[in-house]
Amino acid sequence: MADCIFCKIANGEIPSQFVYEDDKCVAFRDIEPQAPFHVLIIPKEHIVSAMEIDETNSSIVGHIFTVAAKIAREEGIDKTGFRLVNNCGKDGGQTVGHMHFHMLAKRNLQWPPG
Ligand code: 5GP
Ligand code: ZN
């Protein structure tokens, strides 16, 4: 999608620090990290939010969780753990209209979130 910042990151138009890429998704470091380890995992396809997930495209969500587990093993946080979270819509705190999962780790994350 022409005006989408995450589409531009996914296709390399806007530089970012990739930690993973395959044909369906990319993971890159968040520009304003909220934990010592903070990456965003996004589909390459422009999906606005979790509200656009249906039977035709839901396999990407399972794929993203599989990628998160792979990244966790590579980063050595598979035993210590991490948080994988999706903000959906205004009240969910979503600020970028291209669905993404935050993967946060390497500190003791609190619950509930603010
Ligand atoms: P949201 O608030 O939509 O759940 O998360 C959007 C995230 O994208 C924020 O954590 C923000 O720091 C990150 N972000 C926004 N613009 C950029 C950018 O240009 N590059 C990178 N790497 N992260 C960005
Ligand atoms: Zn997009």
pLDDT of residue 114: 80
User: pLDDT-based confidence at 74, cuts 50/70/90?
Assistant: very high
Whole-structure pTM value: 0.98
Atom of ligand 1 nearest to the CA of 14: 19
Q: Probe ligand 1: pick from 29, 32, 86, 90, max atoms within 8 Å of CB?
A: 32
Ligand 1 atom nearest 38 alpha carbon: 10
Query: How far apart are the CA of 29 and the centre of ligand 1, in A?
Result: 9
- Is 90 exceeded by the pLDDT of residue 85? yes
Catalytic residues, which ones?
Answer: 100
How many A from CA of 79 to the centre of ligand 2?
32
Residue 5 Cα: closest atom of ligand 1: 19
Helices (H), ranges, 13-106 = 59-75, 89-92
Structure confidence by residue, pLDDT tens digits, 3-41: 999 999 999 999 999 999 999 999 999 999 999 999 999
Of residues 21, 26, 50, 60, the one with CA closest to residue 40: 26
Please state whether beta strands 83-85 and 25-29 pair in parallel, antiparallel, or not at all (unpaired). Answer: unpaired
